[in-house]
Amino acid sequence: MGRGRWVVWGLGAAAAALLACSAITTFDGLTGSAQSGASEGGTIDAQGGVDAGCTADLTTSQNCGACGHDCFGGPCKQGVCGAVPLVSGKPNVGFVEVHGPLVAFAAAVDAGVISNVYAMQSDGGDLRVLSTQQDGPNYATSDQDRLYFSNFYSGEIQTVRWDGSGFLTLTKSVLTNQVILTSRGVVYATQGDGGKNGGLYLVDTAGASPPTAIITQQIGPECVAEVNGGFVFTDFDYGGKSVVRVNPDGTPTTIASGKNPACVASDGTFAYWSDKVAGTISRTHITTGVTTQLAATTAVPGYVRVDDTYVYWLERTPGNVRRIRKDASGSAELVYGGNGMVNGLALDDTAIYFTLGTAGLVMKVAK
């Protein structure tokens, strides 16, 4: 296994863990997303306010707790949408990536490390193979035309069109981690081969030029996010334990430190990051470095995503997906809980997508 890699293939599930410090919203055993102000019956609109013109039954999958809150075929109970499987029966499922109506994911071949990369519609239809025999694909990013993904073990950054054509290897590094798509090309993090050999690199989307170093001599970069013309990344292994901002001129600044920062996301103002040893989700201001702890757990938090309202994170074991408001108000909510090792996490405007690795499932739940 690679150092600190989150999307690890073939691990068994650990014992269930409970959130410790933050208050948790639970849903009578149903794992799904909560609607603020939702109730059985009544007339609450999709924004949680009273809608005098809404007379729908708010207990249905099409109007779950709020008018127009669609569960995408999943169950509705007490105003909460449950998760629905889009794909099942794969030996071991890794990343998931969403772009518009398309969803991509990686799944191991015969429960091993070698994997295939697939695409489908966001309702689970039109499942197709994009690429085969990949060596540990663990992170992905995309645009309208192409999917880009990293292979942890081979160190390759690769791309393929959504229809499966035009496969390219953009570059090859050592122990590659997260990839993100920027206006300048594909940025990827690499852990290197030990010591301070990791860094962030930029490669053009056609692979026509050698990679350009953004920052080098880092210990163990895992996750990276673009922010204000620069980047923020977690450098977590072998004593690094930092959240680092890289300015547009390439100069680094440590904006936060933790016991073992794992993954990071940003909305341009804050960096939201998980600490897999401390078991916390925190928010750090990109400029001032002021850090606020948003949630704490006795599980091991991993991948982080944000939208306009929430920060979402996965807890690989016992298999939870949670969220909390970015402004630190309210309680942490259990989006999905306790059924297999969660590997990947992605968002679109209306839904949360995640993978249950050893259970072989790609799941979707309404926001």
In this prediction, residue 236 has a pLDDT band, given cuts at 50, 70 and 90, of low
Residue 279 contacts by C-beta under 8 Å, 6 or more apart in sequence?
20, 296, 297, 298, 299, 300, 301
Q: What are the start and end residues of each CATH 2.120.10.30 domain in the chain?
A: 24-31+83-366
Token pair in block for residue 262: 């794992």
Token pair in block for residue 53: 């013109």
Query: In the chain, what percentage of residues exceed pLDDT 90?
Result: 62
Residues 203-230 pLDDT 10s: 999 989 999 999 998 887 889 999 988 9
- The whole-angstrom separation of Cα 96 and Cα 224 is 17
Compare 177 and 11 and report the one with higher pLDDT.
177
- The whole-angstrom separation of Cα 203 and Cα 288 is 30
Token pair in block for residue 324: 């909390």
User: Which residues sit opposite 314 in a β-bridge?
Assistant: 321
The whole-model pTM stands at 0.84
**According to the model, what pLDDT value does residue 144 have?**
95
**Domain 24-31+83-366 has what CATH class?**
mainly beta
- DSSP code for 4: T
Residue 349 contacts by C-beta under 8 Å, 6 or more apart in sequence?
none
Residues 244-258 pLDDT 10s: 999 998 899 999 988
The CA dihedral of 267, 270, 276, 281, to the nearest 10 degrees, is: -100
The CA dihedral of 184, 148, 233, 199, to the nearest 10 degrees, is: -80
Residues 106-149 pLDDT 10s: 999 876 779 999 999 999 999 999 999 999 899 999 999 999 99
55, pLDDT greater than 80: no
How large is the average pLDDT for residues 83-98? 94
